[in-house]
């Protein structure tokens, strides 16, 4: 259709969002050619990677053709003709949305999530829905009911999770960018494992309308991209208040790309001692320390700080998140959506539909949350966790009076092997040890590539900012990224 060679198509797939927008603006190629190239590459690669749960090629090509027509008519919009992938916990009208669960098999939503709608209004092309841990509960994408996703850097490693499909799609050059969701690190950790950029906005910055809820006080939607600039471009479009989400913040949305000055002289970068201590792989520590040294060379001031309750964030997170999940997932009862077990009584039908429809990790978290909320345990677990959450929040607020950003590894390890942690839920939880705090305190964070371990697997640097501090963390991440060039390395796996 586009008459391009395989090599030309490969070059299109390699582009960043910014490069693609430039190329289309200059008439070098069309949105249809770009979309076609990505669809073809996905067809060749995704049998191995399994980043996508559903592909929507006809719809994508129609949207791309409409984008080309709009551009030809002189229209412009911020993401006109940019092909993206959407994590399958965001509802999309007319396109099956499963949240990686059997209990939603066949569910075709009657409406579209606000974040996705805003991407479409900005001209983006939707390539399909990406794989996720079931209901976004997991750190490896292994708990998807539809099979795991593989890491494009090394096929015997997990891509991280829960937005592992989105991270693998971007790293594997099967989408220029993707949306993920982050309840305890599910955008940042897979971005780190796959060598791409992942941004978790502040709580309330992006509307959660149409996000299938996991932990409602923690969930945020964020972009997974090849560059920091691309993350800023997607956030520009998605951020801002929404009448359909009463927790979306009314504050005005700046042009985040304007924050990317490349200048971080005088930026105070706080490094919690506990973030580079025990339990961190030596290569990860070395990579992060080198990145901090590089930021210092760029003029940032590295400041050792204390976050007193750091070690309590994980237990607090797993009580709060599962309590909220147990309430949120009560809606899956076999009546309004998803398959029904067809049992004789209403109660038995609830029990069997849920018993058959939910996987292991989801059941475990519903059980934990139900227990923490149940009579006799509420004060000791749920209320206590909410009180410690207050102390953690105070730690972070205090720290941000002293520094501008807080830095450390995104994950204590690089991508681990399949099955390594699946039988040990607690070990899987520990993969989130550096990411959960931000969700508890509602602040923002970004993971940016900062090197490779001895096995050739990517390492991520996490930069955290206060609530609505997106401009600062984007500026810091961009300055570091541009001075380091890790983001230009690509996985060697080819179809």
Partner 1 sequence: MKLTPETVEHVAELAKLALSPEEIARFAEQLSEILDYAEQIQSIDTQSVDPTPYVLPLRSVMAEDEVRPSLPNPQATANAADAGDGFFRVRAIFDEGSGS
Count of helix runs (H) and strand runs (E) in the chain:
16, 11
The residues in 293-322 that bind partner 1, with binding defined as CB under 8 A, are 309, 311-312, 315-316, 318-319
The residues in 197-226 that bind partner 1, with binding defined as CB under 8 A, are 203-204, 217
Single out the catalytic residue among 16, 18, 87, 274.
87
- Tokens found for residue 344: 């004789």
358 is an interface residue for partner 1 by CB under 8 A: yes
Q: Which stretch binds partner 1 (CB under 8 A): 40-48, 64-72, 255-263, 341-349?
A: 341-349
Q: Which is nearer to partner 1, 22 or 356 (CB)?
A: 356
Q: Which is nearer to partner 1, 92 or 467 (CB)?
A: 467
Q: How many residues at the interface with partner 1, by CB under 8 A?
A: 71
Any catalytic annotation for residue 87? Answer: yes
Nearest to 321 by CA among 261, 362, 350: 362
Any catalytic annotation for residue 447? Answer: no
Nearest to 226 by CA among 191, 262, 188: 191
From the CB of 287, what's the least distance to partner 1, in Å? Answer: 28
The residues in 114-143 that bind partner 1, with binding defined as CB under 8 A, are none
Q: Pick the binder of partner 1 from 172, 184, 442, 466 (CB under 8 A).
A: 442
The residues in 53-112 that bind partner 1, with binding defined as CB under 8 A, are 106-111
From the CB of 116, what's the least distance to partner 1, in Å? Answer: 17
Element holding 189 (H helix, E strand): helix 188-194
Any catalytic annotation for residue 76? Answer: no
Q: Pick the binder of partner 1 from 368, 403, 407, 459 (CB under 8 A).
A: 368
Q: List the alpha helices (DSSP H) in 5-79.
A: 6-14, 17-25, 31-49, 57-72
- Tokens found for residue 153: 């850097």
CA distance 311 to 25: 49
Q: Which stretch binds partner 1 (CB under 8 A): 171-179, 297-305, 334-342, 447-455?
A: 334-342
Q: Is the distance from CB of 273 to CB of 406 less than 8 angstroms?
A: no
490 is an interface residue for partner 1 by CB under 8 A: no
Q: Is the distance from CB of 46 to CB of 158 less than 8 angstroms?
A: no
The residues in 407-426 that bind partner 1, with binding defined as CB under 8 A, are 425-426
Q: Pick the binder of partner 1 from 31, 67, 237, 441 (CB under 8 A).
A: 441
37-52 burial, b at 16+ Cβ within 10 Å, e below that, comes to bbbbbbeebbeebbbb
Single out the catalytic residue among 144, 162, 192, 326.
162
335 is an interface residue for partner 1 by CB under 8 A: yes
Could you tell me if residue 138 is left (phi over 0), alpha (psi between -120 and 50 degrees) or otherwise beta? left
- Tokens found for residue 355: 């018993």
Catalytic site positions? 87, 162, 186
């Amino acid at each position: 259709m586009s008459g391009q060679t395989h090599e030309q198509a490969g070059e299109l797939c390699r582009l960043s969002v910014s490069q693609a927008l430039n190329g289309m603006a200059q008439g070098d190629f069309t949105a249809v050619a770009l979309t076609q190239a990505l669809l073809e590459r996905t067809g060749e690669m995704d049998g191995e990677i399994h980043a996508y749960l559903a592909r929507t090629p006809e719809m994508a090509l129609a949207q791309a053709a409409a984008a080309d027509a709009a551009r030809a008519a002189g229209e412009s919009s911020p993401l006109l003709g940019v092909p993206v992938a959407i994590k399958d916990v965001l509802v999309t009208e007319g396109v099956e949305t499963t949240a990686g669960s059997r209990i939603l098999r066949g569910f075709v939503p009657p409406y579209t999530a606000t974040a996705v709608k805003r991407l479409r209004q900005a001209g983006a092309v939707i390539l399909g829905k990406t794989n996720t841990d079931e209901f976004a509960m997991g750190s490896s994408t292994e708990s998807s009911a539809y099979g795991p996703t593989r890491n494009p850097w090394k096929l015997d490693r997990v891509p991280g999770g829960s937005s592992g499909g989105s991270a693998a799609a971007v790293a594997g050059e099967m989408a220029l960018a993707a949306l993920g969701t982050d309840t305890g690190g599910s955008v940042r950790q897979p971005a780190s494992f796959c060598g791409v950029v992942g941004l978790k906005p502040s709580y309330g910055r992006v509307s959660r309308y149409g996000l299938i809820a996991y932990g409602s006080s923690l969930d945020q939607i964020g972009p997974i991209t090849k560059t920091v600039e691309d993350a800023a471009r997607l956030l520009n479009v998605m951020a801002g208040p929404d009448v359909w989400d009463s927790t979306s913040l009314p504050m005005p949305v700046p042009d985040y790309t304007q924050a990317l000055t490349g200048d971080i002289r005088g930026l105070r970068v706080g490094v919690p001692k506990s973030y580079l201590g025990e339990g961190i792989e030596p290569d990860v520590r070395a990579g992060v320390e080198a990145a901090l040294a590089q930021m210092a060379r760029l003029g940032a001031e590295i400041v050792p700080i204390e976050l007193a309750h750091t070690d309590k964030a994980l237990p607090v997170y797993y009580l709060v998140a599962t309590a909220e999940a147990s309430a949120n997932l009560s809606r899956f009862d076999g009546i309004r959506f998803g398959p029904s077990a067809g049992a004789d009584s209403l109660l038995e039908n609830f029990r069997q539909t849920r018993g058959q429809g939910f996987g292991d990790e989801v059941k475990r978290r519903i059980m934990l949350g139900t227990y923490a909320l149940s009579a006799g345990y509420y004060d000791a677990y749920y209320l206590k966790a909410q009180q410690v959450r207050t102390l953690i929040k105070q730690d972070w607020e205090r720290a941000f009076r002293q520094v501008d950003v807080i830095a450390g590894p995104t994950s204590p390890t690089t991508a681990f092997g399949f099955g390594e942690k699946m039988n040990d839920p607690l070990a899987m939880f520990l993969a989130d040890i550096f990411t959960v705090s931000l969700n508890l305190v509602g602040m923002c964070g970004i993971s940016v590539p900062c090197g490779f371990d001895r096995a050739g697997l990517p390492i991520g640097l996490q930069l955290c900012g206060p609530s609505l501090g997106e401009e600062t963390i984007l500026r810091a991440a961009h300055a570091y990224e541009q001075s380091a060039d890790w983001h230009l390395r690509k996985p060697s796996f080819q179809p």
